Amino acid sequence: MSKRSRVREVVLQILYQEDLNPEADIGVSERFLRGRLKHTEDLVAFGRSLLVGVRLHRKAIDAKIEAFAENWSLARMAVTDRNVLRIGAFEILFSETPDRVAINEAVELSKRFGSKHSPQFVNGLLDRVLKSKQTAS
């Protein structure tokens, strides 16, 4: 597993926790991030950029995901899938990560932490997000 893949895994854990416990102290998330990434500054900075980006753009990201999730609301999605999608959509829409890398990383996360159908679900939905971005360009 690449170092950045490990960062995404830690960010997924934090977003999962925040999704289930929205009143959680953000300071706990920061300490968790730093500790899990062994205080490696470049990795912590990347993780922080993902977390802050997802938090900052969450309404827009969630709206995109819901727009392309046929017959699925965010509330009905598994918590893991929902947060993997948020990371992937953030990277596609708002970061410098190459689009295909963002999708592949999200699919890998869904393979590790989701159900047996999660990888196809995540891949299909993020592909639609990417196509909408390309159409808008």
Indicate if the pLDDT at residue 112 is higher than 80: yes
Mean pLDDT, rounded, of the chain:
95
Render pLDDT for 61-110 as a digit per residue (tens, 0 to 9).
999 999 999 888 999 999 999 999 999 999 999 999 999 999 999 999 99
Q: Please give the domain boundaries of the chain with CATH numbers for all domains.
A: 3-136 (1.10.940.10)
Render pLDDT for 20-33 as a digit per residue (tens, 0 to 9).
998 888 889 999 99
Residue 113: pLDDT band (50, 70, 90) is very high
DSSP states along 37-104: TTT-HHHHHHHHHHHHHHHHTHHHHHHHHHHHSTT--GGGS-HHHHHHHHHHHHHHHHSSS-HHHHHH
